[in-house]
Amino acid sequence: MNNNYYAILMAGGVGSRFWPVSTATCPKQFQDVLGAGETLVQTTFRRLASIIPRENIYILTNKNYNEVVKEQLPGVKQEQIVLEPVMRNTAPSVLLAAMKINQKNKDAVMMVAPSDHWIQGEQQFTKDLEFAFEAAANSEKLITLGINPTFPNTGYGYIKYDNPPNSRLMPVKAFTEKPDFKKAESFLAEGNYVWNAGIFIWSANVILQNFEKLLPEMYHLFAKGNPVWNTEKEQDFIDENYHKAHKISIDYGIIEKAENVFMIPASFKWNDLGTWGSLQEQLPQDINENTVINSRFLSFEAEGNIIRTEKNKVVIIEGLKDYIVLENDLVLVVMPKKNEQGIKEIREKVMKKFGDKLG
């Protein structure tokens, strides 16, 4: 295992499209949404620990989730948990982590990964990651993993790439955020587009150079913290300055503007688990195509439903087709699957009428 390899897990989101299971107090990355016996952040940490030293894996999350991270990842030290006082999208958090890691190890090669995605084929994932780390080490390359598109999904970003012969490293030509259906269809027809999984690998020093060039104001704001990184005074500096950073994603702020961006086609299966429908694609179904999570289910002419309850509850459904039935300790949601894109808005209405604690 290479001590120069590092990872940062992005674990600060609320996961509002998975409400009411995912809430502001315990979002989906800290939930066992797959019914697998471990939470998504636990699964991701375990997967990465097969190639990256455990002490080199950092968790970037909101200050409110510090205790749940320590509870779910008991081997992680407090210095590995980077606490954001406010949400500022992904660019500030990546810059902060890169500065911490670079100060600790000038030869560090780091990956950035979401903590709440589904990956099947862990051996293939490990091999792809090892290749990416080797390609990024001692080079100027910014590397992303691309997912072979299986249908014209309009909810994902796309990466256009060149295809040089006899190479797994594909130069990136362009990024497109969430195209409409016709454009997504044309991407698949062209054959040189992949889905953007939001997984990046680069030298810590190289990504800092790109921040200094492309987001200089943010870079110099955080560079003032160089004397305190990895010390007891670090959190005070973050609390005083983090909110001053521009709210922007790493994709838009750096990757889409940088040179020397390369893509490695992923050999594993991937899903961003962005909606309940995407979750259903990865889980087994009964003979009537019902997907049941954490429940004991008795069906009477019920078809194509998603059922997710707390604590192995007995659920009886009759005559319901293509619905979502979801609950937590305080909220029950029953709605057509076709309307699931509106869950985020429903959550906001519930919080406005009944109180923030329900969100």
Residue 21 has pLDDT above 90, yes or no: no
pLDDT score of 227: 94
Confidence check: pLDDT of 166 > 80: no
- The predicted-structure confidence for 309-331, as pLDDT tens digits, reads as follows 888 899 999 999 999 999 988 89
Residue 192 CA to residue 160 CA, distance in Å, equals 6
Which pLDDT does position 12 carry in this prediction? Answer: 85
In contact, 267 and 131? CB cutoff 8 Å: no
How confident is residue 95, by pLDDT bands cut at 50, 70 and 90? very high
* Arithmetic mean of pLDDT, 188-205: 92
DSSP secondary structure letters along 140-186: --EEEEEE--SS--SSS-EEEE---TT-S-EEEEEEE-S--HHHHHH
In whole angstroms, what is the distance from residue 6 CA to residue 271 CA?
Answer: 23
Q: Is the pLDDT of residue 19 over 90?
A: no
Mean pLDDT of 110-120: 91
One-letter amino acid of 30: F
Q: What percent of the chain stands above pLDDT 90?
A: 61
Q: What is the spatial distance between Cα 254 and Cα 57, in angstroms, rounded to a whole number? A: 22
Per-residue pLDDT at 328: 86
Q: How many helices (H) and strands (E) does the chain have?
A: 11, 15
Q: Are 102 and 108 in contact (CB under 8 A)?
A: yes
| pLDDT averaged over every residue in the chain | 91
Among candidate residues 35, 40, 52, the one with its CA nearest the CA of residue 13: 40
- Is a pLDDT exceeding 80 seen at residue 74? yes
Exposure string of 310-337, with b = 16+ CB inside 10 Å and e = fewer, is eeeeebebeebeebbbbbbeebebeeeb
39 pLDDT tier (thresholds 50, 70, 90)? very high
Mean pLDDT, residues 126-139: 93
**Mean local confidence (pLDDT), 241-257:** 92
Residue 165 has pLDDT above 80, yes or no: no
* Residue 180 binned pLDDT confidence (cut-offs 50, 70, 90): confident
Average pLDDT value for residue range 331-342: 90
Residue-level pLDDT at 312: 84
The reported pLDDT for the residue numbered 310 is 82
pLDDT at 208: 97
Q: Is the peptide bond before 53 cis (omega within 30 degrees of 0)?
A: no
pLDDT of residue 233: 93
pLDDT at 215 over 90: yes
What is the predicted pLDDT for the residue at 154? 84
Least confident of 58-72, 153-167, 241-255: 153-167
Q: pLDDT at residue 355 above 90?
A: no
- The per-residue pLDDT for range 275-284, each reduced to its tens digit, is 888 878 888 8
Q: What pLDDT is stored for residue 26 in this prediction?
A: 84
Residue-level length of the chain: 359
Residue 160: what pLDDT?
92
